[in-house]
């Protein structure tokens, strides 16, 4: 269903749209460079969603297009069920966003900065300043000048500024950028708290680890195209599984297993084998590997299934993509 149809059939910003962000064929070019290339994106409401890709993949450009900061060359999009650009004002009143580094007046305090921003918003925003500062853990430092804030504190003040509008959707471009491990931890907790309140947080990042820890679902973007998307657990379930086998005579073990119908990729390592099996086959395969080796007189010291990380899956997906192109 296209967002244009949603727009025609449902009231503006209908709660019936299950998607916080919906795009179809969204495209943005800079000359010959297609920065956003036919993006089909569905971000479910009420989750932390990672838009994950390497530098130059088109993450910031997609966010800028969604927020109407630059126009799309083709495609349709909606935010919280509101078609963009037609109902942009209605949508953006319920969206908080940080694109690039948040900018504040350094000579003013955190609270004063929020007061200025709240004055430009609806009346209720003023009443949300204290709660927003508290929510991002800046209540104690609210009356310090922003020039004295660390990068992490500025990022958090940026989120506090977003919260002034009591947004249903937060769009954060690289919120972990420049943060130390403690800062990332705080940002992660904050995002999860916002999601637990029923908000949707869409964040862009090139940090696989952080996205895996923070988000429920992801889209993987490369060269402007979304190449995979869905809940992380579901995506990883489709990845191959690595099994490490510690055994005597690894070379002979490899020859034995290569001659079977396991269909696995087998690499010899110093103390044994590393075996990549198709997802879903590993339980039976591990038992079979053990049986084959023991029957041949090879001592099996250890069989260990390695948890697939988003990072190793990402490499599998992108290398498969490289092979097919």
Ligand X SMILES: Nc1ncnc2c1ncn2[C@@H]1O[C@H](COP(=O)(O)OP(=O)(O)OP(=O)(O)O)[C@@H](O)[C@H]1O
Return residues touching Mg ion (CB under 5 A).
59-60
In the block, which residue shows the tokens 């379930």?
Answer: 237
Phi-psi label, residue 178: left if phi above 0, alpha if psi -120 to 50, beta otherwise:
left
Q: Of the two residues 61 and 168, which places its CB atom closer to Mg ion in the complex?
A: 61
CA dist 16 → 4, 6, 12 (Å): 15, 10, 10
Which of 61, 109, 132, 240: binder of ligand X (CB under 6 A)?
Answer: 61
Which of 4, 14, 27, 60: binder of ligand X (CB under 6 A)?
Answer: 60
**Among the residue ranges 53-61, 84-92, 161-169, 270-278, the one whose residues contact ligand X (CB under 6 A):** 53-61
Contact (CB, 8 A) for 52 and 61: no
- According to DSSP, the residues that pair with 109 across neighbouring strands are 145
**Bridge-based pairing state of the strands 48-52 and 74-79:** unpaired
**Among the residue ranges 28-36, 110-118, 234-242, 291-299, the one whose residues contact ligand X (CB under 6 A):** 28-36
In the bound complex, what is the minimum distance in angstroms from residue 282's beta carbon to ligand X?
34
Interface with ligand X, residue 53, by CB under 6 A: yes
Which residues lie closer than 8 Å to 304 by C-beta, 6 or more apart? 243, 244, 246
Handedness of CA 44, 48, 54, 58 (dihedral sign): positive
Q: Rule CB under 6 A: which of 65-104 touch ligand X?
A: none
In the bound complex, what is the minimum distance in angstroms from residue 146's beta carbon to Mg ion?
23
Which of 9, 33, 122, 283: binder of ligand X (CB under 6 A)?
Answer: 33
Question: Residue 8 has which token pair?
Answer: 């025609």
Secondary structure element (H or E) that encloses residue 20, with its range: strand 19-30
Interface with ligand X, residue 175, by CB under 6 A: no
Which residues lie closer than 8 Å to 217 by C-beta, 6 or more apart? 43, 44, 47, 48, 49, 50, 229, 230, 231, 232
Q: Which among ligand X, Mg ion, none contacts residue 156 (Cβ within 5 to 8 A by kind)?
A: none
Q: Of the two residues 28 and 59, which places its CB atom closer to Mg ion in the complex?
A: 59
Q: Of the two residues 59 and 156, which places its CB atom closer to Mg ion in the complex?
A: 59
Which of 6, 20, 26, 35: binder of ligand X (CB under 6 A)?
Answer: 35
In the bound complex, what is the minimum distance in angstroms from residue 73's beta carbon to ligand X?
13
Q: Rule CB under 6 A: which of 202-221 touch ligand X?
A: 206
- According to DSSP, the residues that pair with 188 across neighbouring strands are none
Q: Which among ligand X, Mg ion, none contacts residue 87 (Cβ within 5 to 8 A by kind)?
A: none
Query: Kindly report the CA angle at 171 between 166 and 216, in degrees rounded to 5?
Result: 100
In the bound complex, what is the minimum distance in angstroms from residue 23's beta carbon to ligand X?
15
Interface with ligand X, residue 56, by CB under 6 A: yes
d(CA 225, CA 55): 13
In the bound complex, what is the minimum distance in angstroms from residue 58's beta carbon to ligand X?
4
In the bound complex, what is the minimum distance in angstroms from residue 64's beta carbon to ligand X?
8
Interface with ligand X, residue 58, by CB under 6 A: yes
Query: Kindly report the CA angle at 265 between 263 and 271, in degrees rounded to 5?
Result: 125
Contact (CB, 8 A) for 49 and 216: yes
Q: Which among ligand X, Mg ion, none contacts residue 264 (Cβ within 5 to 8 A by kind)?
A: none
Q: Of the two residues 101 and 216, which places its CB atom closer to ligand X in the complex?
A: 101
Q: Which among ligand X, Mg ion, none contacts residue 83 (Cβ within 5 to 8 A by kind)?
A: none
Secondary structure class of 196 (helix, strand, coil)? helix
Binding positions for ligand X, rule: CB under 6 A: 30, 33, 35, 53, 55-61, 206
């Amino acid at each position: 269903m296209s967002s244009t149809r949603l727009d025609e059939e449902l009231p503006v910003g209908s709660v019936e749209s299950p998607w916080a962000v919906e795009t179809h064929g969204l495209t943005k070019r800079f000359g010959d460079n297609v920065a956003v290339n036919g993006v089909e994106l569905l971000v479910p409401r009420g989750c932390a969603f990672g838009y994950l890709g390497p530098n130059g993949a088109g993450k910031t450009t997609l966010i800028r297009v969604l927020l109407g900061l630059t126009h799309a060359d083709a495609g349709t999009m909606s935010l919280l069920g509101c078609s963009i650009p037609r109902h942009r004002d209605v949508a953006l009143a319920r969206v908080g966003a940080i694109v690039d580094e948040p900018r504040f007046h350094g000579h003013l305090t955190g609270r004063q900065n929020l007061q200025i921003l709240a004055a430009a918003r609806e009346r209720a925003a003023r009443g949300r300043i204290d709660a927003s500062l508290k929510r991002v853990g800046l209540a104690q430092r609210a009356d310090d000048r922003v020039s004295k804030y660390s990068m992490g504190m500025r990022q958090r003040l940026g989120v506090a500024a977003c919260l002034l509008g009591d947004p249903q959707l937060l769009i954060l471009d690289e919120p972990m950028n420049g943060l130390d491990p403690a800062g990332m931890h705080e940002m992660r907790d904050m995002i999860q708290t916002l999601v637990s309140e029923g908000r949707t947080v869409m964040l862009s990042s090139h940090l696989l680890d952080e996205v895996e820890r923070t988000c429920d679902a992801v889209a993987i973007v490369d060269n402007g195209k979304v190449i995979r998307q869905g809940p992380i657990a579901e995506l990883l379930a489709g990845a191959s599984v690595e099994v490490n086998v510690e055994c005597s005579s690894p070379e002979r073990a490899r020859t034995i297993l290569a001659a079977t119908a396991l269909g696995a990729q087998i690499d010899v390592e110093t103390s044994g084998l590393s075996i990549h099996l198709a997802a879903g086959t590993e339980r039976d395969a591990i038992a079979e590997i053990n049986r084959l080796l023991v029957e041949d007189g090879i001592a099996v010291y250890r069989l260990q299934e390695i948890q697939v990380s988003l990072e190793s899956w990402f490499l599998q997906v992108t290398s498969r993509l490289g092979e097919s192109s």
